[in-house]
A and B are shown apart, each in its own frame.
With several copies, the nearest count.
Chain A
Amino acid sequence: MAELLSLEEAIAELVRDGDSVALEGFTHLIPFAAGHEIIRHERRDLTLIRMTPDLIYDQMIGAGCARKLIFSWGGNPGVGSLRRLRDAVEHDWPIPLELEEHSHAGMAARYAAGASNLPFGTLRGYVGTELLERSRDTVAEIACPFTGEAVVAVRALRPDVGIVHAQRADRQGNVQIWGIVGVQKEIVLASSRSLVTVEEVVDELEPRPGAIVLPSWAVGAVAEAPRGAHPSYAHGYYDRDNGFYQRWDEISRERESFQSWIDQNVLSGAGVA
């Protein structure tokens, strides 16, 4: 049964220095509040895992939480670069950042393999690209034992901690997610420990079209975090704050402006931007 914790308790308990941590949510339901709590807890040497690092990892990388990034597309969607990510890769600021780079299809297959307790996932991909050569530890060509055809194996991802945001949980800790469901289920099931932050805890999860439910006993902890996905969005609760994504380009441009934004909006505990 999932424990109902405060966000602060949950991060303190679940995320340790040196952990591999996946905060997922494909554009939708990105767990910003949880990421900010990790910054406030000053966790270090994390291996951060996310298909699209997005602003949340730009912030965590700039704040010095990450030693390594496992990802597949590291831009600011519709806007441009992730400037803190680039500064870490191009200039080792604030510390060097090791990259493990995949395609979206590969990352999705790695998560699904992790959720399935398989050591690898299989796909047709990577062939002919330099991604294959760059990632020999986690991508390998294998032959079909029946047809001899070459396909690609990608190493399963089993993060130490998986964190997602969802719309709702009930008081028993059952979680309900609707709209774009991304890889939310896979992350919770693939990770050794898991946390779901939710917009609200309700008495009963009313069935909804397109909703999936993660049963309480498959979830580690649930923490209430209203607007916890802002500036991304929570379908049925609030829209994506496209303006903030555009402003981030300016905020994150210089180390100083970034630092002062983090100081005022994250470290002060004043809550999400």
Chain B
Amino acid sequence: MTTETEAPVSADEMMTAVAARALTDETVCFVGVGLPSTAANLARLTHAPRTVLVYESGTIGSKPRNLPLSIGDGELAETADAVVPVPEIFAYWLQGGRIDVGFLGAAQIDRLGNLNSTVIGDYERPKVRLPGGGGAPEIAAMAKEVIVMLRQSRRSFVDRLDFRSSVGYGDAPDDRKRLGMPGRGPTVVITDLGVLRPDPESRELVLTQIHPGASVEQVREQTGWPLRVSEELEETEPPSGEELRELRELRATLEAPR
């Protein structure tokens, strides 16, 4: 299969490459479909070959050659080390504390990393009914750390969530502890404009990294609260030729007829 490597880097590609880099080798990842699945597979195919992918459909150690469109594609089972029932994947594996990294997306995020994937507007009379929490509430609570991926805009980075589907840091720095959550919470939020990380004290998300071509002004404009910017703001290294080639080959498998 030949793939284009000369086209400019898209926003999704940048997010995916940055997310993949956030994974060190031998990490056990609980993965949802879409960008997270692409990022985890990209890591596996580049710098972190022993990354373990766990899908909520019950496949453990899947090594798909083609990107799955759904969380339960047949290839995930065929290439897995083990396939277990869905109650077991949540009870023994996620709640059991065996997941290093959970990937989450969302429609809205607030400054303490709490997520909304349930509704826009009022719950009873929603403007937009979103898919809902799915595996996210327990991934957010139980994974040792959480990587969040979503595009940055005033509609997604909001002062106040319309619904709290999953807990980041709750309402205060020690809320996770109070709520008995074993995981550390969201350690990095990757957007199409940059990267945010929680302040070690207040847990408020701080812009720590900016992608090539984006400006701090632009990021501030797309954030629904007064955004704090790190004094040591870094610029993201663009995807390397190898990253881009692997990524585009991967994405091509998603569109190709099977």
Known interface pairs A74-B131, A104-B135, A123-B138; A183-B85 also in contact (CB < 8 Å):
yes
Known interface pairs A109-B90, A109-B91, A174-B81; A86-B26 also in contact (CB < 8 Å):
no
Known interface pairs A90-B129, A118-B95; A104-B134 also in contact (CB < 8 Å):
yes
Contact pattern, B 12-35, Cβ under 8 Å of A = 1, otherwise 0 = 000000000000001010000110
Measured CA separation A213–B68 after assembly (Å):
23
Which residues of A lie under 8 Å from residue B77 when comparing CB positions? 28, 179-180, 210, 235
B95 close to A105 (CB less than 8 A): yes
Contact pattern, A 215-251, Cβ under 8 Å of B = 1, otherwise 0 = 1011000000000000001010001101101000000
A26 close to B126 (CB less than 8 A): no
Contact pattern, A 107-125, Cβ under 8 Å of B = 1, otherwise 0 = 0110110011110000111
Which residues of A lie under 8 Å from residue B165 when comparing CB positions? 129-131
- Chain-A contact segment, one of B57-65, B188-196, B239-247: B57-65
Does B170 make an interface contact (CB < 8 A)?
yes
Which residues of B lie under 8 Å from residue A101 when comparing CB positions? 118, 132-133
Contact pattern, B 159-203, Cβ under 8 Å of A = 1, otherwise 0 = 000011111001000010001111000000000000000000000
Partner of A131, one of B85, B129, B137, B142: B137
Partner of A104, one of B73, B86, B98: B86
Does A89 make an interface contact (CB < 8 A)?
yes
B58 close to A128 (CB less than 8 A): no
B96 close to A85 (CB less than 8 A): no
Which residues of B lie under 8 Å from residue A104 when comparing CB positions? 56, 86, 90, 133-135, 138
Does B219 make an interface contact (CB < 8 A)?
no
A128 close to B123 (CB less than 8 A): no
A103 close to B98 (CB less than 8 A): no
B129 close to A89 (CB less than 8 A): yes
B96 close to A129 (CB less than 8 A): no
A240 close to B69 (CB less than 8 A): yes
Which residues of A lie under 8 Å from residue B84 when comparing CB positions? 181
Partner of A73, one of B74, B87, B133: B133
Contact pattern, B 107-145, Cβ under 8 Å of A = 1, otherwise 0 = 000000000001000010011111111111110011000
Measured CA separation A78–B251 after assembly (Å):
13
Known interface pairs A86-B129, A105-B90; A134-B123 also in contact (CB < 8 Å):
yes
Which residues of B lie under 8 Å from residue A102 when comparing CB positions? 133
Measured CA separation A243–B254 after assembly (Å):
11
Does A71 make an interface contact (CB < 8 A)?
yes
B85 close to A186 (CB less than 8 A): yes
Closest to A235 in B: B74
Does B52 make an interface contact (CB < 8 A)?
yes
User: 4 tightest CB-CB pairs across the interface, nearest first?
Assistant: A27-B72, A75-B131, A73-B134, A77-B70
A-side residues, CB < 8 A to B, are: 1, 26-28, 51-52, 71-75, 77-79, 81-82, 85-86, 89-90, 101-105, 108-109, 111-112, 115-118, 123-131, 134, 149-150, 174, 179-183, 185-186, 189, 210, 212-215, 217-218, 233, 235, 239-240, 242-243, 245
21 A-B pairs with CB atoms under 8 Å apart are A27-B57, A28-B57, A28-B72, A78-B34, A78-B69, A101-B118, A105-B91, A109-B91, A116-B91, A127-B141, A129-B133, A129-B166, A180-B76, A181-B84, A183-B87, A186-B85, A189-B96, A210-B83, A217-B28, A218-B98, A240-B69
